Chain A
Amino acid sequence: MVNIKVQVEGLSVWYRDKQILKDIYISIPEKKITAVMGPSGCGKTTFLKSLNRLIEIHEGFRVYGKVLLDGKNIYDPDVDPMDIRARIGMVFQKPNPFPHLSIYDNVVVGLKLRGITDKKYLDRIVRETLEKVGLWDEVKDRLRSSAAKLSGGQQQRLCIARALALNPEVLLLDEPTSALDPLATAKIENLLVDLKKEYTIIIVTHNIQQAARISDYAAFLYMGQLIEFGETKDIFTNPKNELTEKYVEGKIG
């Protein structure tokens, strides 16, 4: 029996007068990779951003329903969204390291701006997280140089390190490999499989093969509705819904 880390109950999201997500119920298991698939514009990114309240920095969105993290609704008024975002890290579609900061500072900027200045601790975190994402050997001699000089794949792994530096429990990834070449993509996929020992991972992807390769659970989102959710092998070999079947066969794009 697996533990449920994130429980979504009746999540509906509106953007102005348009409903983006429609009454979504889903239970995300702990320390597994859950893939959220679906065609472009189905609400995948909105769903992801609702899980760490990042949606709230954008104007015009309204969120209804509950997102329970370890049983506690993150939208409760006594919850600080800053804490939620530190506990639920996020990696974006386009690698977005801070180009004005060094590699070192990219990793620890979150900690520094949250008031942690102990140099020894920061040094250790930089080393640990960069080792975790397999970047340490590539950059250890130029930690002070700009992050903008790294390749796309390196930048994306740096962004993962940046999220991990805050020691989150959940890692959200929004199509993290869509801007990368196959080799860099493979590295990230292997890394994620590695990381699930420690973190609950939710990855949005419109790459069906990627979902099949790395995820334990898969959800299929279509026009704002959760069509099907279950173990990845079931979704791919024995989908219950006709739409899911069409999608995994590549008939809906």
Chain B
Amino acid sequence: MRPSLRSLTDKFYTAFAIFAFLILIIPLLHIILSIIMNGIKRLDLELITSPPKSLLGSGGGILHAIIGTAMVVFIAMLISLPLGFFVGLYLAEFAKGKFAHFLRTLISVLAGIPSIIAGVFAYTVIVVVYGFSALAGGFALGIIAIPYVARSTEEALGSVPMEIKEAGFSLGIERWKVVLFIDVGYAKSRIIAGFLLALARVIGETAPLLITILGGINIPSNIFSPANAIPLVIYQYALSPFRIWHNIAWSAALLLMIIVLVINLGVRYYLKIKAIY
């Protein structure tokens, strides 16, 4: 029997889909494999325990950048968690009609602006006053994280079944208490997962840090001093003419990739345990 036109079309589209998938996956695999192969050499204890050394010797690490990233991300979370959480809570439980629509659009716009804009904003608001600092970088990343936290919180609260809310109300509990103690409690693990994914989202941001924390080789002594960060070190070292720095940049990239991977896998595992109950 001759293959029908329909089965030919079917084969064509299947082949096309596989082709498109390969186009997508090959560069991605290439990037991942290059990072692993080039980065594994210097992914050692010295990398994460020592600050940079002079250019003449080999070795040296990125401890200053790891501490800087920790500070910047911590500040970013301090800003974006409460703000994003309450915006998401408001959207999920209280906002209705046109204002809610407006707010949701605003959140989408905020999520869509280039991250450098957040950096410029942090520059004008904080750098101009306090100078280049971890605080300014954290502020910029915080702004970037807010819409992600807000959205994930809204989605998590939206997943609370009506029966659970009804059970809360049927106990004669006021609305805000039902929302805060019943709904949030019920959706707790998904909300936390959203926080962590927002963290993973901003930890690799580079552009806004360029103009806020400055970089450099010193370990920041407090949030008002200039700092470096892992993605920024990658950028600076990769553009340098030195082989030693190139190797450190590869290893820093691998380290960052591992951090993000661990966060993502951790979230999945965490939600899986929670889902059993």
Q: Which residues of A contact B (CB under 8 A)?
A: 52, 54, 57, 82-87, 89-90, 92, 94, 96-101, 109-110, 113-114, 146, 148-149, 159, 162-163, 166
Contact = CB atoms under 8 A, between A and B. Distances in A.
15 contacts: A54-B166, A85-B171, A85-B172, A92-B163, A94-B163, A96-B161, A96-B163, A98-B168, A99-B186, A99-B277, A100-B186, A101-B185, A109-B171, A162-B167, A166-B172
Contacts of A97: 167
A52 B164 CA distance: 17
B166 A98 contact: no
B182 A98 contact: yes
Contact of A113 (B167, B170, B171): B171
Contacts of B277: 99, 146, 148-149
Given A57-B165, A85-B172, A109-B171, 8 more contacts: A57-B169, A85-B171, A86-B171, A87-B172, A96-B167, A97-B167, A98-B182, A110-B171
A126 to B, nearest CB: 15
A86 to B, nearest CB: 3
Contacts of A92: 163, 166-167, 170
Nearest to B174: A82
B177 A85 contact: no
Nearest to B171: A110
A125 to B, nearest CB: 13
Nearest to B169: A57
Contacts of A85: 169-172
A110 B172 contact: yes
B226 to A, nearest CB: 43
Contacts, number: 68
Interface residues of B, number: 20
A85 B188 CA distance: 26
B31 to A, nearest CB: 40
B173 interface: yes
B181 interface: yes
Given A100-B188, A101-B185, A110 B166 contact: no
Contacts of B185: 98, 100-101
Contacts of B166: 54, 57, 92, 96
Contact of B177 (A87, A101, A113, A166): A113
Contacts of A146: 277
Nearest to B186: A100
Q: Which of A57, A86, A89, A114 has the most CB of B within 10 A?
A: A57
A162 B171 CA distance: 8
Closest 10 CB pairs between A and B? A86-B172, A110-B171, A85-B172, A90-B170, A96-B163, A82-B172, A148-B277, A100-B185, A96-B167, A113-B173
